[in-house]
Structures are given as structure tokens and as C-alpha cells.
Amino acid sequence: MANEKKLVKAITARDEDFAQWYTDVVREAELCDYSSVKGCLNYLPNGYAIWENIQKDLDARFKETGVENVSLPMLIPESLLEKEGDHIEGFAPEVAWVTHGGMERLQERLCIRPTSETLFCDLWSKMVRSHRDLPKVWNQWNSVLRWEKTTRPFLRSREFLWQEGHTIHATYEEAEQRTLTMLKVYQDFIRDSLAIPFVSGRKAENEKFAGAQDTYTVEALMHDGKALQSATSHFFGNGFPDAFNIKYIDKNNQPHSVYETSWGLSTRIIGAIIMVHGDDDGLVLPPRIAPVQTRVIPIAQHKEGVLEKADELLAALKAAGYRAKIDDSEKSPGWKFSEQEILGIPTRIEIGPKDIEKNQVVVVRRDTREKIVVSIDEITTKLGEILETIQKDMYEKAKAFLNSHIDTAVTMDEMVEKFKANRGFVKACWCGDEECEGEIKYATGGASTRCLIEDEEMISDTCIFCGKPAKHMAYWGKSY
């Protein structure tokens, strides 16, 4: 059992040092690590397999709403990036520049895309002539690069993997609707497939994407009480398209503006999965996106018939459509249990001589450690039920945590107190001025608006800081 202890000890307790716990889980589960290129990650098989399942699930949801995938270049000429004023201002400080190609100095610098609005608009300016060319509802799965100063695995790195959807429409309303449709796709995916609860809504002015008219966000709460912006959907109006001269000829034979959206979700979301569901023993993965849903672990595997029966079980599980693996290595069962827990595999199935005698197996849930004895004859159906229960319970547990970490405040004293006493979101009203937000941020040690609350009655008429009439109610929180 020495090995088992060694494995578990490698992870710092979550409540002792959350940041170190996170780093330990990422390392011990072999999800990703830093490469020799400063701030850039190697996504290793265990981490990338999670991303592949995210892609598969989310891509199918996109396509159900009519999204088509494309692939545009990774390089953007400087003159193109500069076409929309707010956009270049937002991104210029954090792009990487290519100045030489082969042996030659380039006439114009090219940046590695930090995001691709400019490339999509440039392409559409050449493609769109009539209303029959609209809408365009496109997406790409790619990587982008932003020259960040400080980096953390999944949460912030110079290069990161994501999807970026870009659309244009003949009318304002249709584009606005698309922005909200994609927000809902993200909400459904994050809740139903990742078992992560959230608050969600429109961003305040200074939290919007560079160049957007409206940004909608999904904000999940991590176990340490910090918020993580998990997906965003932007409505651009006609600002970008006009800057790129994308027009269609309408029924009156007049050039008409088009309206644009973009929306994205990145490998950051893997950080959310870790920090919402993980525990002191490692990762806990929701069954719907877990690369491996169950690992068969033979007990006393040297005894006659055990490995044979375990292999049979594995074959039956695979045939029934489960993502199943076996650990028939020479390591001790304790070591194997420990590794399955670190990796966050939702269930393990123990099968030993006594189980075989009784025609049963023992299913152990990763999330609760509950042991469930199941007849071998029923395992291929029962496992599905257990995985569904895990998925549901993980969401409920995280939802309860979120609910117990949402407070309200109507005075600054309350606000400061709440941020001291509890971790999480605080509902408070605000005049909308940036200056007040800065003061609130300072007083609370870093809280900013995560999203506006527009479908509830305001809890106060006045700004929590300056006392002037309140313009917005918002969820305030400290964020990654």
C-alpha cells in the first residue's frame, strides 16, 4: 500500500492551498504542462481527451442550430487588424508579430490571430452581395494567441484552444436572436453535459469584448469562491461589418448594413471542471464528457479465472457503448484505486474471486465513494443508471454550493462584510459609472461586475457606492 499513499500525498488539500491543489491535480492527472515556449501549454492525452469530448458534444449542439464549420488563416495583416478602432485598441498590446517569412523581411507585419473577427469580415466583404448570401453562421475550432504576462494551466495561457463562432445577418433582430441562441447553447451544454451551475446575463459596459455592442456571459463559481467566465456570446450590431464594408443589396436596390455576432468557449472550461468538481483525491469528471467512464479493476487477478472474467466484463461494457478501460497491470489494487480517483474516472468496477462466485461486481462511485453491488447480468444497464445519477448528483451538489454563495448587499459596509465573510457572488445595485466600480473593487479586494441581472426587481434604488440612482443590478464577484 506504500504506492497508494505516495500517489494521494502528491495532492495538496484543497482547503489548505487552493492554488497549489489545482496545480497538483493538473500535474498528477497529467492533463497538461508547460512547454519550452514561455506561457504555452502541452495538452497531454488525458487533458486533450476531455477537450475532444467537449468538442464532440458542443459541435453537435452547434450544428443543430445550423452552424457550419470553416477554417480561416492563423495570420492577420496589421492593416486588417486596424480596421475597427476599438478592436485594435483592445488587442494590439497582446499580439505576437511575424516579421520574417523564409529568408525575407515582410513588407507588412502579420500578427498571429488573437481572435478572428477581422478575418471573417474581410472574407465576407468579398462574398456577400445579395440577401441570398445571408445569413452566414460559421464556426471554427482552432487555437489563438495572446501575449499574456502571467499564465496558469487552462485558465490563462498565451496560446489556447477554443472555438470561435462568427455570424452575419440581414437584420438587427436576427443577429440579436442568434447571440441569445448561442448563449443558450452554452448554458445548456455547461449545465447538462458539464454539470456546472452558473449565473448568466449581459456584461456591464467595461467588461464587454473589444468592439462589441453587447456581451453575454456564463459565469461559473469555483470551489474557492471565485468566478470563472466560462463562455461568451457577443452582439456587434453593424459596427464591424460597416468598417469592412459588408453590404447587401436590399429589395429597394439599396446597399444595406449587415449585423454580426461572435461567440466562444475555450479550454478554460477544463479549469472550471477541475475547480467545480475536483476534491482532495484529484479530478472528478462528469460522466457525459469523461474520456473513460469506468475502469475495471480485477482483484486478486493472479487467481484462476479472474482476468478472464474481467476481460469478458470489459468487452460487454464496450459493446454496450460505454467508454470503458481495464487496469490489469501488476500494480496493487490500492494503487489502482488511487490512480482511478486522481484521474476522475466516474466509476470503477471491482471484480474478484468472491464477486465471481456470487455472479456480481462492485461499482464504486468517484463522487461519493459509494459502493454498489450489481449482478453481472445487469451491469450493462445498471452502469448507465449509475452514471446518470452521478451526473445529476454532481450538478445538484455544485448548485447547492452556488446557491449558498450568493448574497445581497445594499450598503458598502454590507458589501465589504459579505466579501470578507463568504466567497462567491454578491447582488448589488450600481449607478453604472466606471469610477464607482473602481472604488467598489478596491474596497472589496477585487470584486467587479460579473454580469447584470435584468430579469429581477432591483433590491435598491441607489448605487451602493455613490448613492446616486442605480442603473443596474449586478452579480459582483472576484474572478479568474
Min dist CB 458 to a copy of itself, Å, is 40
Residue 147 is which amino acid?
A: W
Could you report how far apart the first and last alpha carbons of the chain are, in Å?
38
Min dist CB 10 to a copy of itself, Å, is 16
Min dist CB 299 to a copy of itself, Å, is 22
Q: What Cα–Cα distance (Å) separates residue 423 from each residue in 197, 345, 404, 419? A: 16, 29, 10, 6
Nearer to a copy of itself, 73 or 469 (CB): 73
**Residue 249 and residue 307: Cα distance in Å, rounded?**
70
Yes or no: say if 211 and 238 are a contact pair by the CB < 8 Å rule: no
Min dist CB 315 to a copy of itself, Å, is 15
Yes or no: say if 4 and 338 are a contact pair by the CB < 8 Å rule: yes
**Residue 279 and residue 288: Cα distance in Å, rounded?**
19
Nearer to a copy of itself, 43 or 198 (CB): 43
Min dist CB 218 to a copy of itself, Å, is 24
Min dist CB 18 to a copy of itself, Å, is 26
**Residue 22 and residue 33: Cα distance in Å, rounded?**
13
Nearer to a copy of itself, 104 or 457 (CB): 104
Min dist CB 59 to a copy of itself, Å, is 9
* Residue for grid cell 470503458: 324
Nearer to a copy of itself, 146 or 450 (CB): 146
Min dist CB 108 to a copy of itself, Å, is 10
Q: Compute φ and ψ for 211, nearest 5 degrees.
A: 105, -10
Nearer to a copy of itself, 92 or 362 (CB): 92
Quick one: which of 161, 186, 156, 183 has its CA closest to 271?
156
C-alpha count within 13 angstroms, C-beta hemisphere, residue 375: 3
Nearer to a copy of itself, 100 or 251 (CB): 100
**Residue 302 and residue 234: Cα distance in Å, rounded?**
59
Min dist CB 71 to a copy of itself, Å, is 4
- Rg of the chain's alpha carbons, rounded to an integer? 25
Min dist CB 101 to a copy of itself, Å, is 4
Nearer to a copy of itself, 28 or 367 (CB): 28
DSSP for 387-445, written as a single string:
HHHHHHHHHHHHHHHHHTTEEE-SSHHHHHHHHHH--SEEEEEE---HHHHHHHHHHHT
**Residue 116 and residue 81: Cα distance in Å, rounded?**
9
Binding site for a copy of itself (CB under 8 A): 35-37, 40-45, 48-49, 51-52, 68-77, 80, 93-103, 109-110, 112, 119, 122-123, 138, 142-143, 145, 147, 158-159, 161
Nearer to a copy of itself, 131 or 423 (CB): 131
Nearer to a copy of itself, 77 or 225 (CB): 77
Nearer to a copy of itself, 96 or 307 (CB): 96
Cβ contacts of 256 within 8 Å, gap of 6 or more: 170, 247, 248, 249, 250
Quick one: which of 419, 433, 422, 425 has its CA closest to 463?
433
